Amino acid sequence: MSRNNRLRPVLISAFIFLAGISSVQAQQQIKIVGSSTVFPFITSVAERFGKNTNFKTPIVESTGSGGGLKLFCAGLGNLTPDIASASRRIKLSEVELCSQNGVADIVEIKIGFDGIVLANSRSVELVDFSQRDIFLALAKNIPNENGQIIANPFFNWREVNPNLPDVKIEVMGPPPTSGTRDAFVELIMIAGCETFNWVEELKTSDKAAYQALCQTMREDGVYIEAGENDNLIVQKLVANPAAYGIFGFGFLDSNTDIIQGNSIAGISPEFENIAFGEYPVSRSLYIYVKKAHVNEVAGIEEFLSELMANKASGPDGYLADKGMIPLPENEHELWSLRAANLQNLQF
């Protein structure tokens, strides 16, 4: 019996512990899901909101834009997120999914921009790339002047354009699941692709061939998918000065002592250039709010006003210090007003 007695307390405490899992309700707290690009910004706001008000600090999950909107559109109720962030605009298919699941009224707020940079180690010279140069270096297949599609023959930047440096092409960037990759393809690869006149015609005549040509990245080791960890890319750039890396402006801004951003189409990726829309590779950052939750979960309106306050997302706000490119003043005012009025999304 003595051996049994030794086991018993263990079992009993385990059962008490399980019994302790009673029906305590989870406390109401704002839940935010979405883009990993918006994550560092929205978490800054969430933290200050928690510090400055009596509301609990919102929970922010980094799920990616698409994953976040999927969760957001899953329905209403306290098991679903109240706010979704995205590094692109919500798609029509997502709005339809939302309304199918009863999420009818969605408030859309544009909070700022993010620039995508092509950076390298500070130990080598800055280069000015055109979108066409980058496309020719990184596309799987490229069009030639005779209207034919050939496999990408280039392995040195000088072969792409005689004005570029004589180094091996080596670019590290995000995988296809990333929103940064989508924006990069859209703003650089497609733009570079369309500099060939006959490709423009292909767009109308054979859409599938056009997309395959313009949107497919190289798979022969020249373009290296470096995963979602941009800090890793920064470290690799320092170790290998011949390589270039593709990531968001925030990472360049935090590491200006070791890496530098190269200009694209003659415009360097500086704060002002991105803010005034001159730098060609920038995208908008959005958040989406469930209107039906505003009265259910305490603090949503207060959170939005913290987010859209001048000291946060305004031109001189703390989000700018975190690497987000703020909206121009009049546009910021417009979106702040829409946020305050909880104006519905318009397509």
Partner 1 sequence: MNRHFSVRSKHLATRHRFEVIFKWFGRISIFLALGFLVLMLAIIANMGAGALQQTRIALDVPLLQEGFDINYLDEADYDGLIKSALRQRFPDATSRSQKRQLNNLLSIEAPFTLKKYVLKNPDTIGSTARLWFIASDDVDLFFKGSIELAPEGNAGRLISEAVAWVNELKAAQAIKTVFNFNFFTGGDSREPELAGIFSALVGTALSLLICLAISFPIGVLSAIYLEEFVAKNRWSDFVEINITNLAAVPSIVFGILGLTIFINGFGLPRSSPLVGGMVLALMTLPTIIIASRAALRSVPISIRHAAIGLGATPIQTIFHHVTPLAMPAMLTGAIIGMARALGETAPLLMIGMVAFIVDVPDSIFSPATALPVQIFLWADSPERAFLEKASAAIIVLVVFLIIMNLSAIILRQKFQKKFCKNNF
Residues that bind partner 1 (CB under 8 A): 1-4, 6-7, 11, 14, 17-18, 21, 24-27, 29, 31, 36, 39-40, 43-44, 46-48, 50-51, 56-57, 59-62, 79, 228-231, 248, 250-251, 253-257, 316, 318, 321-323
Task: Decide whether 18 or 239 has the Cβ nearer to partner 1.
Answer: 18
Beta strand 31-34 with 59-62: parallel, antiparallel or unpaired? Answer: parallel
CB under 8 Å to 151, separation ≥6 — which residues? 140, 141
Shortest Cβ 160–partner 1 spacing (Å): 30
Task: Decide whether 34 or 143 has the Cβ nearer to partner 1.
Answer: 34
Shortest Cβ 80–partner 1 spacing (Å): 9
Shortest Cβ 208–partner 1 spacing (Å): 33
- What is the SS3 assignment for 217? strand
CB under 8 Å to 159, separation ≥6 — which residues? 153
Q: With beta carbons less than 8 A apart as the criterion, state whether 267 and 341 touch.
A: no
Beta strand 244-248 with 263-264: parallel, antiparallel or unpaired? Answer: unpaired
CB under 8 Å to 99, separation ≥6 — which residues? none
Task: Decide whether 47 or 201 has the Cβ nearer to partner 1.
Answer: 47
Task: Decide whether 61 or 186 has the Cβ nearer to partner 1.
Answer: 61
Task: Decide whether 234 or 304 has the Cβ nearer to partner 1.
Answer: 234
Shortest Cβ 260–partner 1 spacing (Å): 12
Task: Decide whether 68 or 192 has the Cβ nearer to partner 1.
Answer: 68
CA-closest candidate to residue 335, choices 292, 299, 289: 289
- Strand intervals (E) in 14-87: 31-34, 59-62, 83-86
Give dist(CA 184, CA 246) in Å, integer. Answer: 8
Shortest Cβ 178–partner 1 spacing (Å): 12
Place of tokens 């002592």: 257
Residue type, 32: I
What are the two backbone dihedrals, phi and then psi, of residue 108, each rounded to the nearest 5 degrees?
-105, 130
Task: Decide whether 155 or 271 has the Cβ nearer to partner 1.
Answer: 271
Shortest Cβ 54–partner 1 spacing (Å): 11
Task: Decide whether 213 or 233 has the Cβ nearer to partner 1.
Answer: 233
CB under 8 Å to 254, separation ≥6 — which residues? 323
- What angle separates helix 300-308 from helix 329-340, to the nearest 10 degrees? 170
Shortest Cβ 242–partner 1 spacing (Å): 22
∠ at Cα 180 (174, 181), nearest 5°? 55
Shortest Cβ 169–partner 1 spacing (Å): 26
Give dist(CA 106, CA 73) in Å, integer. Answer: 10
